[in-house]
Chains A and B, each alone.
Chain A
Amino acid sequence: MAAENKSSAGWNTRSWLNLRTAIQALAFIGFLALFLNAVPLLMRLDPLAVLANFISGRSLPPFAFIALAMTLLALIFGRAWCGWLCPMGTLLEWISFNKCRTKKITIPDGWRSVKYVILIAIILAAVFSNLTLMIFDPLTIMVRTFATAIWPGLDLAVNAAESLLNNVPVFQAPLARFDNALRPLLLPTTQLSYPEGWIFAVVLAAIILMNLVAERFWCRCLCPLGAFYGLAGKISLIRRRVNESCIKCKLCEDTCPTGTIRRDKDCSSDPGECIVCLKCMDSCPCSTSDFGPMFSPAKFNSYDPVRRQLFLGLGAGAVLALLFRLGLPSKQRNPYAIRPPGAGEQDMTAKCIRCGECIKACPTGAIQPSQMDSGPEQLWTPVIVPRIGFCQYSCNACGSTCPVSAIPALSLAEKKSTIIGRAFIDRDRCLPWAQNTPCIVCEEMCPVPRKAILLHTVRTKREDGGTMLLQLPTVQAGRCIGCGLCEYKCPVEGESAIRVTA
């Protein structure tokens, strides 16, 4: 992004700006494509996720070199990630509410230090093998929200529209074609439900609404990934420069989306805040503002992570990590928190970065973000909730999608014999046992080759006084893998009469 003279024919500052807009749009489409195909590349691009996972899990996650490359790029281009690639940043730029902000609010500079506090807290908690705070990472927020709220919500809306349009004969054929050709690529084919999806929708909406206070409020004040890149930006090679010909016209101050250009400071900016959007370069009437190599580190600001922020962050991280430690030793774990195949409870705290890629990958929607009931330190880690979806017998999608191997990548054969839980029949709710009514849906569904549900046939009285044969199910413990298909299909209303526990 070297400086270019505005008047030079062909390539000028406007071209740079257009290039950035195009790359942003492409990167966002790329994000959607990765999301839809459950390719775990996005989180591997995230140096914060990889670093935190490395510290916390005490081993390098796969493909860590990608994150290293991103860090090296940041040492050259600073926070360009935020202005050019980050899907959250792009979203915040597209929904900037610039038109709605009528009067200019200057937010106190001190607020900018919050993001550094969060960053330091994440790293310190990771030292204590706890990654709960990764819920603040912008990429985890994006994937989680798209997986549990936006994607299934879109599906609901499309389905409602389809049911409506299907009443009109001319639409029927195209609708069928859409459902068979496009739906499998763009939308879930089975209805997914995420009872807690609204929480994520609210969180993302709140982040977007903060734009009403100031443009890219999230990027300025809160984003820990932005803080990480910001620190790299302080010493990055290419930075914004202002030369003496500046007339302090303040045009750049008004266009800067992060508000880091300050007239009272000679129209200079902080490379830790600058997202290299190049808007200042374009707005400058005298071509004073440009981007080029600078060699001495940038000077520190009051909000930069000096002592106070450092201590705050360390304190917050330590307190949180210790608090969570006190919480729940694994013996008292929630028995209904069934983990995806092969994932250990310890991995869930220490390795899972809470990205939700596995949630998206699971074709039956079985994987749900756990709430507080497995302990606060497990917040939004994956659990299988069989009443909502079952673990498909020939599927190992979650393991091969998890970007940090918190869920091991099992081969299909390994996965089929991996025990994720055990089914127990509640004889007080089971229709044949409790109500003398034939059923055994569980036996029918059980997918293991030698069925894990055994049937005992007894002769019992019928309602009308005659006799009948009734089949009573029991679980053959050694065969059950805990896939939860029986719990999913059990026709008893409300709580299933057969339940899988970890």
Chain B
Amino acid sequence: MAEFTRRDFLKYALAGVGAVLAARFITACSSPQTAQNNPPMPAPVTPATEENDTSAVKYPDLAVVRGGEPEALARKAVELLGGIRRFVKKGDNVIIKPNIGPAMRTYEYAATTNPWLVAAVARLCLEAGAGRVRVMDQPFSGTAESGFLNSGIREEVEKAGGEIELMSRFKYASTDIPLGRDIKKWNIYEDILKADVLINIPIAKQHGSALLTLGMKNLMGAVQAAQLFHLNLHQRIADLASRVRPTLTILDAIRILTANGPTGGDLRDVKKLDTVIAGCDIVAVDSYATSLFGLRPDDIPHIKIAAEMGLGSNDLYKLNIREVTLGS
């Protein structure tokens, strides 16, 4: 039996030194820390398109569509806002952020975004020539895999040709929030910040501390340690909305959860409205959505704060709203 010789020792020692050097090399190759911390803010969507005369076109701020299947609702809403090509260009890297709150509920319980709605939006983006459409969220009471499975979102999105992404721990980066009033820095998922197009598809539901979870609250799925938001929840939701800025928010009010949210689990708390509210102004979408629960925008502190911070409009009287009921 051979001994562990000096030669063996040298071999292993060299391998070790090599590994350390390789690691050093990789770190050295990486982009400097500051650049990574501050990916560019998404550019505001301009109302101009090639085929339209820019000066003449005036898109509504909000599109509210009622009475139809999820796919039809989504298509009509996006069409009213100017069509998907206004938002998605050929080859764009699109991320769709639904709300998969609790990992265990099927869509009937209105605790997770409607899978057909998510799939319809993914399909629209692909039709517009998007390079890549990813759907991601991190459910809070179970694993992401079980959330995608139970909600039905994995199945529908994959049928539509989109990808499901299980959010990787290593992709969160400490990010500056320059406009934040309470939080100035938080760990946010890098890909969401870097996407060409971010489409937010929240579901409207009751929530103990946020009162309602709508578009802005849904952005909390992009951060780590979200439970620490609750210490000053409304301000922090608005702060986050100043940094994570979806191109489009399509609010799912096909079924809404009116009590025992955001987890739900009792069909008596679910109301079927067959409605979708869409717009580029996330504050405006949320403001309109309060009416589904018989509330006013000012009843929800984070909507009020966000409007004060100039993130959007909460004045429903001044907004240009197109309401359409399908099939009538």
Chain A contact residues, CB within 8 Å of chain B: 98-102, 159, 162-168, 175-176, 179-180, 183-184, 189-191, 363-364, 390, 392-395, 431, 437-441, 443-451, 455, 471, 485, 489-491
B166 touches A166 (CB 8 A): no
CB distance from A163 to the nearest CB of B (A): 4
B166 touches A446 (CB 8 A): no
Q: Given that A438-B230, A439-B230, A444-B209 are known contacts, is A162 also in contact with B1, CB under 8 Å in the complex?
A: no
B233 touches A438 (CB 8 A): yes
Number of A-B contacts (CB under 8 A): 124
Among the listed A164, A167, A446, A448, which residue makes an inter-chain contact with B31, where contact means beta carbons less than 8 Å apart? Answer: A167
B166 touches A168 (CB 8 A): no
Q: Which of B74-82, B144-152, B302-310 is the contact stretch?
A: B144-152
Tell me which of B1, B103, B228, B233 has the highest count of chain A C-beta atoms within 10 A of its own C-beta.
Answer: B1
Closest CB pairs A-B (n = 10): A167-B30, A449-B265, A394-B104, A163-B170, A449-B266, A443-B208, A179-B168, A162-B170, A491-B227, A440-B209
Looking across the interface, which residue of chain A has its beta carbon closest to that of B263? A447
Give 15 pairs: A residue, B residue, CB < 8 Å, sorted on A: A99-B4, A159-B170, A163-B170, A167-B31, A179-B168, A184-B166, A189-B143, A191-B169, A363-B142, A364-B143, A431-B231, A440-B209, A489-B140, A489-B227, A490-B227
A99 touches B231 (CB 8 A): no
Tell me which of B29, B141, B142, B209 has the highest count of chain A C-beta atoms within 10 A of its own C-beta.
Answer: B141
Looking across the interface, which residue of chain B has its beta carbon closest to that of A448? B265
A455 touches B170 (CB 8 A): no
For residue B233, which residues in chain A have a CB less than 8 angstroms away from its CB? 438
A455 CA to B260 CA, complexed, in Å: 11
For residue B264, which residues in chain A have a CB less than 8 angstroms away from its CB? 449
Looking across the interface, which residue of chain B has its beta carbon closest to that of A363? B143
Among the listed B26, B144, B146, B165, which residue makes an inter-chain contact with A176, where contact means beta carbons less than 8 Å apart? Answer: B165
A444 CA to B2 CA, complexed, in Å: 64
For residue A159, which residues in chain B have a CB less than 8 angstroms away from its CB? 169-170
For residue A451, which residues in chain B have a CB less than 8 angstroms away from its CB? 260, 263
Q: Given that A392-B141, A440-B230 are known contacts, is A180 also in contact with B164, CB under 8 Å in the complex?
A: yes
A33 CA to B51 CA, complexed, in Å: 57
Q: 19 additional contacts, CB 8 Å, given A183-B166, A393-B141, A395-B142? A: A163-B170, A164-B26, A166-B171, A175-B170, A176-B165, A180-B165, A390-B141, A392-B146, A393-B104, A394-B150, A439-B230, A441-B227, A443-B209, A444-B207, A444-B208, A447-B263, A448-B265, A449-B264, A485-B141
B208 touches A440 (CB 8 A): yes
Looking across the interface, which residue of chain B has its beta carbon closest to that of A190? B143
A450 touches B104 (CB 8 A): no
A364 CA to B139 CA, complexed, in Å: 13
Among the listed A163, A393, A448, A449, which residue makes an inter-chain contact with B142, where contact means beta carbons less than 8 Å apart? Answer: A393
**B215 at interface, CB cutoff 8 A:** no
Q: B122-159: which residues lie under 8 A (CB-CB) from chain A?
A: 140-146, 150
Among the listed A164, A184, A190, which residue makes an inter-chain contact with B27, where contact means beta carbons less than 8 Å apart? Answer: A164
B29 touches A446 (CB 8 A): no
Q: Given that A191-B169, A444-B262, A471-B208 are known contacts, is A165 also in contact with B142, CB under 8 Å in the complex?
A: no
For residue B2, which residues in chain A have a CB less than 8 angstroms away from its CB? 99
A179 CA to B167 CA, complexed, in Å: 8
B145 touches A184 (CB 8 A): yes
Looking across the interface, which residue of chain A has its beta carbon closest to that of B33? A167
For residue A176, which residues in chain B have a CB less than 8 angstroms away from its CB? 165, 168
Q: Given that A179-B168, A189-B144, A393-B141 are known contacts, is A438 also in contact with B209, CB under 8 Å in the complex?
A: yes
Among the listed A164, A175, A179, which residue makes an inter-chain contact with B166, where contact means beta carbons less than 8 Å apart? Answer: A179
Among the listed A190, A437, A450, which residue makes an inter-chain contact with B260, where contact means beta carbons less than 8 Å apart? Answer: A450
B104 touches A441 (CB 8 A): no
A446 touches B23 (CB 8 A): no
As a 0/1 sequence over residues 30 to 67 of chain B, the CB contacts with chain A under 8 angstroms (1 = contact) are 11000000000000000000000000000000000000
CB distance from A453 to the nearest CB of B (A): 8
For residue A440, which residues in chain B have a CB less than 8 angstroms away from its CB? 208-209, 230
As a 0/1 sequence over residues 188 to 216 of chain B, the CB contacts with chain A under 8 angstroms (1 = contact) are 00000000000000000001110000000
B142 touches A392 (CB 8 A): yes
**B102 at interface, CB cutoff 8 A:** yes
Looking across the interface, which residue of chain B has its beta carbon closest to that of A455? B208
Looking across the interface, which residue of chain B has its beta carbon closest to that of A431? B231
A246 CA to B26 CA, complexed, in Å: 61
B230 touches A441 (CB 8 A): yes
B228 touches A491 (CB 8 A): yes
A443 CA to B233 CA, complexed, in Å: 14
A98 CA to B1 CA, complexed, in Å: 7
Tell me which of A451, A471, A485 has the highest count of chain B C-beta atoms within 10 A of its own C-beta.
Answer: A451
Among the listed A179, A183, A390, A439, which residue makes an inter-chain contact with B231, where contact means beta carbons less than 8 Å apart? Answer: A439
A363 touches B3 (CB 8 A): no
A190 CA to B138 CA, complexed, in Å: 11
A99 touches B3 (CB 8 A): yes
For residue B232, which residues in chain A have a CB less than 8 angstroms away from its CB? 438
B171 touches A180 (CB 8 A): no
Tell me which of B30, B146, B230, B232 has the highest count of chain A C-beta atoms within 10 A of its own C-beta.
Answer: B230
A166 CA to B103 CA, complexed, in Å: 28
Tell me which of A164, A390, A394, A446 has the highest count of chain B C-beta atoms within 10 A of its own C-beta.
Answer: A394
CB distance from B223 to the nearest CB of A (A): 14
For residue A390, which residues in chain B have a CB less than 8 angstroms away from its CB? 141
Looking across the interface, which residue of chain A has its beta carbon closest to that of B262? A444
Looking across the interface, which residue of chain A has its beta carbon closest to that of B105? A394
Tell me which of A164, A168, A190, A441 has the highest count of chain B C-beta atoms within 10 A of its own C-beta.
Answer: A441
As a 0/1 sequence over residues 207 to 244 of chain B, the CB contacts with chain A under 8 angstroms (1 = contact) are 11100000000000000000110111100000000000
CB distance from A103 to the nearest CB of B (A): 11
A170 CA to B166 CA, complexed, in Å: 20
For residue B4, which residues in chain A have a CB less than 8 angstroms away from its CB? 99-100
A439 CA to B228 CA, complexed, in Å: 9
CB distance from B169 to the nearest CB of A (A): 6
For residue A184, which residues in chain B have a CB less than 8 angstroms away from its CB? 145, 166
Looking across the interface, which residue of chain A has its beta carbon closest to that of B209? A440
